[in-house]
């Protein structure tokens, strides 16, 4: 969209840049308030934002680093002064490398105005420049960065509605356990609408579906040009776009991802063995002989998980994509008393299942089955 960066009526120490985005104000606001989004556009063309952390609250601080092939790391940051959700952000902007002395501290106010039709007028006002030349140099940088932001915002706004594959029918004992539930739950937590592709009997073996899901399982996931399979990969993808599932800090996101992998690799590999014995082989001699050893392995792993949880409500304090996946795995053995044998895990699982997003996902999951 056309950019107005005129300085004709401004003081020598201030800069005004306006741009119209083809996206609603709430989305453009997130480009500034969430690190995973800011990192995608921050810095002029040719620069990559290699680090971004945001403590988005009045008095909270932000820190970012941009680099190019020609420059070394350039660190900058500041403090948030005022925040009006979806409307206004005021913060300081300055250099964070004392040796560089490139960015003296300035004051920034960004406002977001709804222009109707899913468009936003962003007004960027920066003051406190020591010289006109220094101010004018920033026009080039911000103009280039906002060009990147405009493309990114448009891509987000135009993202296609996700389509999740699920089975039209499964046996009674499997209902509530099929792994499309995990993806539905993630989408519900993220507040994203979705469609389902219900597989008729035998459809999972057809070449068209195998192109989406090589193993003929569910879920498969389509979102615009993105095609994914494996519930863990899909849930992580959804989590990357949602502050409801991923913390804003880089460290917090890393910890959330660790717990997703722990759920799938350290816990599910154990509890799944017990689930398969009880669901498919309960009357077989070999299964009856093996079950006690498997139960002991499950108990050991659950005790370790309970110790890691401690007295926290969730694994990292606040609910993340890691809790979503861990609770989904624990539900595999919800027909036993093993989770209940660890009171902290019993309360944890009940807490996760009580979340409105889980309740909506479960209702939709069950509603799609046809007897």
Same domain, 136 and 195: no
**Among 45, 48, 81, 78, CA closest to 65:** 48
CATH code for the domain in which residue 136 is found? 3.30.530.20
Q: From the CB of residue 125, how many other CB atoms can be counted at a distance below 10 Å? A: 16
Examine the domain organization and report whether 21 and 37 are in the same domain. yes
Query: Is the sign of the CA dihedral 343, 346, 348, 350 positive or negative?
Result: negative
Q: Is residue 108 part of a domain?
A: yes
93 vs 77: CA distance, rounded Å: 6
Co-location of 217 and 98 in the same domain: no
Answer yes or no: do 168 and 153 share one domain. no
Query: What secondary structure does DSSP assign to 76-93, as a single string?
Result: EEEEEEEEETTTEEEEEE
**Percent of the chain predicted with pLDDT > 90:** 65
Cα dihedral angle (239, 145, 68, 140), rounded to 10 degrees? -170
Which tops the pLDDT comparison, 158 or 107? Answer: 107
The reply to whether 167 and 153 lie within a common domain is no
Q: What is the pLDDT of residue 4?
A: 47
Model confidence pLDDT, tens digit, residues 293-304? 999 999 999 999
146 and 193 in one domain? no
Where a domain ends, among 213, 242, 271?
242
Q: Give tens-digit pLDDT for 64-118.
A: 999 998 888 989 999 999 999 889 999 999 876 645 545 678 999 999 999 987 8
In terms of domains, do 92 and 194 share one? no
Say if residue 9 is in the same domain as residue 149: yes
Query: Is the same domain home to 116 and 196?
Result: no
Q: Which residue has the higher pLDDT, 192 or 256?
A: 256
The position carrying tokens 């409801």 is 244
Residue 219 in domain: yes
Residue 367 lies in a domain: no
Instruction: Residue 352: give the domain boundaries.
Output: 250-360
pLDDT tens, residue by residue, 114-144:
998 788 999 999 999 988 888 888 898 999 9
Predicted local distance difference test score (pLDDT) of residue 6: 47
Whether residue 368 lies inside any domain: the answer is: no
Contact 212, 229 (CB under 8 A): yes
Which of 197, 212, 242 is the last residue before a domain boundary? 242
Of 132, 157, 182, the residue that ends a domain is 157
CATH of the domain at 307: 1.20.1050.10
Q: Specify the pLDDT at position 115.
A: 93
| Chain-centroid distance, C-alpha 317 | 17
Note whether 181 and 271 are same-domain residues. no
Q: In this structure, are 174 and 269 located in the same domain?
A: no
The answer as to whether 369 is a domain residue is no
pLDDT at 147: 96
In total, how many domains does the chain have? 3
**Residues 221, 196: contact at Cβ < 8 Å?**
no
Q: Is 159 a residue whose pLDDT tops 80?
A: no
| Residue 274 falls inside a structural domain | yes
317 within some domain: yes
Could you tell me the CATH number of the domain that includes residue 182? 3.40.30.10
- Residue 56 burial (CB count, 10 A): 18
Q: Cα separations (Å) of 213 from 76, 158, 321?
A: 44, 25, 22
Q: Is residue 313 part of a domain?
A: yes
Q: What are phi and psi of 123, to 5 degrees?
A: -115, 120
Q: Are residues 294 and 254 in the same domain?
A: yes
The residue behind tokens 């990292």 is 316
| Residue 160 binned pLDDT confidence (cut-offs 50, 70, 90) | low
Bridge partners, residue 61, by sequence? 79
What's the CA gap between 136 and 139, in Å, rounded? 5
**For residue 7, pLDDT beyond 90:** no
């Amino acid at each position: 969209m056309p950019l107005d960066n005129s300085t004709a009526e401004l003081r020598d120490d201030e800069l005004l840049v306006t741009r119209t985005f083809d996206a609603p104000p709430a989305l453009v606001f997130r480009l500034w308030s969430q690190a995973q989004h800011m990192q995608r556009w921050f810095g002029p063309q040719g620069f990559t934002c290699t680090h971004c952390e945001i403590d988005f609250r009045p008095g909270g601080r932000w820190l970012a680093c941009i680099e190019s092939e020609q420059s070394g790391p350039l660190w900058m940051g500041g403090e948030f002064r005022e925040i009006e959700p979806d409307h206004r952000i005021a913060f300081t902007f300055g250099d964070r490398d004392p040796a560089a002395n490139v960015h003296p501290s300035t004051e920034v106010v960004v406002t977001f105005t709804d222009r109707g039709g899913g468009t936003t007028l962003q007004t960027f006002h920066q003051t406190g420049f020591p010289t006109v030349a220094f101010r004018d140099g920033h026009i080039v940088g911000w103009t280039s960065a906002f060009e990147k932001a405009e493309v990114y915002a448009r891509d987000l706004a135009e993202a296609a509605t996700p389509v999740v594959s699920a089975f039209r029918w499964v046996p009674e004992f499997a209902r509530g356990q099929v792994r499309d539930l995990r993806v539905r739950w993630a989408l519900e937590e993220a507040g994203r609408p979705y469609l389902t592709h219900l597989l008729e009997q035998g459809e999972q073996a057809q070449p068209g579906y195998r192109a989406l899901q090589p193993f003929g399982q569910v879920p498969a996931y389509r979102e615009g040009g993105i095609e994914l399979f494996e519930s863990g990969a899909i849930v992580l993808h959804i989590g990357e776009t949602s502050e409801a599932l991923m913390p804003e800090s880089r460290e917090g996101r890393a910890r959330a991802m660790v717990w997703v992998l722990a759920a799938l690799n350290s816990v599910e590999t154990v509890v799944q063995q017990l689930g398969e014995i009880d669901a498919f082989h309960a009357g077989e001699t070999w299964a009856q002989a093996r079950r006690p050893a498997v139960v002991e392995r499950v108990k050991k792993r659950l005790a370790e998980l309970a110790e890691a949880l401690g007295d926290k409500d969730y694994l990292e304090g606040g609910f993340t994509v890691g809790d979503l996946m861990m609770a989904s795995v624990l539900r595999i053995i919800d027909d036993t008393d093993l989770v209940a044998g660890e009171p902290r895990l019993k309360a944890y699982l009940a807490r996760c299942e009580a979340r409105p997003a889980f309740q909506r996902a479960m209702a939709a999951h069950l509603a799609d089955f046809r007897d």
